[in-house]
Structure 1
């Protein structure tokens, strides 16, 4: 591979990574904007939380549907089209005259998210030399992880300075940059296999993959039952002003980025230990937040701890799934994305119901209980090690720890298992 071809390949990876970053950023931006959106569009907080639900449910449906419907289409065309849809969705959200128009915009975004994650996760191998695939994949993964933890503080920061609509303008602007890079840099990426709905359940035939999916459901339900309502908690229970809310959420985000890279070290030693301990700490943090509402310092500490362990958890579940099915195809990724998006939507719905019916404190306690149950289930089921067929591209093969490839995450020590991106 010539230097110019190699450089173009890395610019292509950058365009996909930026697209993934903006999609995740746009999905979670409203969480930091909920109070402002609720006031601006004259709905209550619980109703405003439906924005997260609508995006998650649409993404869950879109992941398999887009994967099957476009399985014979050049992947460059599909990725560019999905990024363009992101730009349209953010533009519509920025000018939405009513909450229901905003919901439509969020559903369009959900289509983009579900399709992009399912297809873009394994695209690095088509863009760079074989020796650079692992590093290129880590760039895409890092973009998703960073977007997950900075979206909430960014939304709150924008809301404190200007209208909540500006956040969607920023998301759309970044989407235009990603779209331009993709149009200019992505080469033709011909489809390699036709995907049918009948093949989408490949991961379910792998016992350890089923455990990973179960663990992911508990994790994302617990996280988003509470995470969706952090800004209302800070405003209504801690009673701090908008500037302090922004600082608190920035602390959460920075801690999450640190946790993401710290997980590179801990996961190389024990995947189940990292996920189990992180879930337990997450549970303790969210349970204690309502009890510590009278102390701003204590709240900041708990948010930092929560952000740190959350930064590690998506990467942990990705690593688990990669170990269970190291050769997973687009069909397998579609199932994983669907599971995550349903869990995000479910967590937001349950959190909204708890807030509306019983108040913010109950929502955080419910979230902690779900996280504890998830940790127990993971440790209990995860310690079983039955030999199982791993489905790779429709062919059953025997998978074990030795089959796991490795990537080096930025700032990590020893190599870690390859991770497929998730929300």
Structure 2
């Protein structure tokens, strides 16, 4: 038994990484084929865009109650049920001709995501020794980074070349294939007994959790307030290579951050958070002062990927360190706020962009991320070290 405990379960965690790869794609793939969806469902582009927004809103709203409801279930059983939910909803979206039905399926998928994101990192942690729990989270969450940097362009290409039904069928098939492999490979891990200590109300009152929540809110609002409008940023900078080059550089930076997080998250978590927040501020200031300078702006997109890429891993690792019981409930609180912060950042960024332009939006986002840096720098004296 002791020898097994020392063996790092790479295959198990990499398969869990395939889950987060699929999950981020399930949320974002409509964005690449919105005109197709709008035409097929006889709706306008704004209504088609709600297929992404409704999914995210369902994830944010239902994460906490659904995690609390399912806390006692075996983790393997719960994850397999969620994967079947992802598979079926995506396949049914491919064949739906009704906007109402498609939206309902997207909401169901969003509810599945609201449960999956908090629980899968805790499930991954349960498969390794305590000293490697941060690394387990980094590996599991690496799939979401790969999904944004590699998977989304690939699936968008599939959708544009072969039609969105093929794209959604491929995505649904991927979810079911991962479920089949997981049924064979993943270990059963018991859920938690429902107690007062792992209730959302008890956990959210802890000052350590409140620090991580504030950090999440500021960092995600600041980054997403600009990232969502990356196309306008590239046009504003007259960026050499266009949006494709910007996304490639950002994606490569994100991949670098995954390796850094996996290597150091267990021993230097709070240093990594400070560094990510500080680098985020520097990057946004580079955009503001030197964004139209060739190659400096290229370096800025690469550095932005490094600062942006590990945030999910770092924040979830920090959240799990603050509680002894109810880790999945704690991460559901953090995950819900993460989704709400994206929506707040999107709305704030859109308002500032429309009213004042990128000249104001970029420094405002830099100031918000600087607030996250201050929260991280001074808050680590409150946070638990282990």
TM-score by length of 1: 0.73
Q: Measure, in 2, the Cα distance between the counterparts of 1:95 and 1:230.
A: 32
Query: How large is the RMSD of aligned CA atoms in angstroms?
Result: 4.0
Contact 1:202 1:332 in 2 (8 A): no
What residue is the counterpart of 2:368 in the other structure?
370
1:246 to 238, 244, 247: 244
* Deviation at residue 252 of structure 1 after TM alignment: 0.9
Q: Measure, in 1, the Cα distance between the counterparts of 2:71 and 2:13.
A: 21
Q: Measure, in 2, the Cα distance between the counterparts of 1:285 and 1:101.
A: 42
Contact 1:17 1:139 in 2 (8 A): no
What residue is the counterpart of 1:262 in the other structure?
260
Contact 2:68 2:199 in 1 (8 A): no
* Deviation at residue 45 of structure 1 after TM alignment: 8.1
The alpha-carbon distance between structure 1 residues 359 and 82, as it changes in their structure 2 partners (threshold 3 A), is farther
What residue is the counterpart of 1:59 in the other structure?
59
What residue is the counterpart of 1:37 in the other structure?
34
User: SS at 2:172's partner residue?
Assistant: helix
CA deviation vs aligned residue, 1:124-155 (integer Å, no higher than 9, x gap):
466x5x65x65577345323134235414542
The alpha-carbon distance between structure 1 residues 196 and 369, as it changes in their structure 2 partners (threshold 3 A), is same
* Deviation at residue 255 of structure 1 after TM alignment: 0.9
What residue is the counterpart of 1:417 in the other structure?
none
Contact 1:221 1:344 in 2 (8 A): yes
User: SS at 1:194's partner residue?
Assistant: coil
What residue is the counterpart of 1:155 in the other structure?
152
CA deviation vs aligned residue, 1:171-227 (integer Å, no higher than 9, x gap):
333212212112334455444413679811333333222211110111111222222
Contact 2:276 2:307 in 1 (8 A): yes
* Deviation at residue 111 of structure 1 after TM alignment: 0.9
- More helix per residue: 1 or 2? 2
Contact 2:220 2:338 in 1 (8 A): yes
Q: Measure, in 2, the Cα distance between the counterparts of 1:188 and 1:385.
A: 35
Q: Measure, in 1, the Cα distance between the counterparts of 2:174 and 2:337.
A: 27
What residue is the counterpart of 1:237 in the other structure?
236
* Deviation at residue 99 of structure 1 after TM alignment: 7.1
The alpha-carbon distance between structure 1 residues 39 and 173, as it changes in their structure 2 partners (threshold 3 A), is closer
> Which aligned pairs between 1:87-166 and structure 2 lie closer than 5 A?
87-94=87-94, 103-124=103-124, 128=127, 131=129, 135=132, 138-148=135-145, 150-152=147-149, 154-156=151-153, 158-159=155-156, 163=160, 165=164
Structure 2: unaligned runs, 5 residues or longer: none
What residue is the counterpart of 1:220 in the other structure?
220
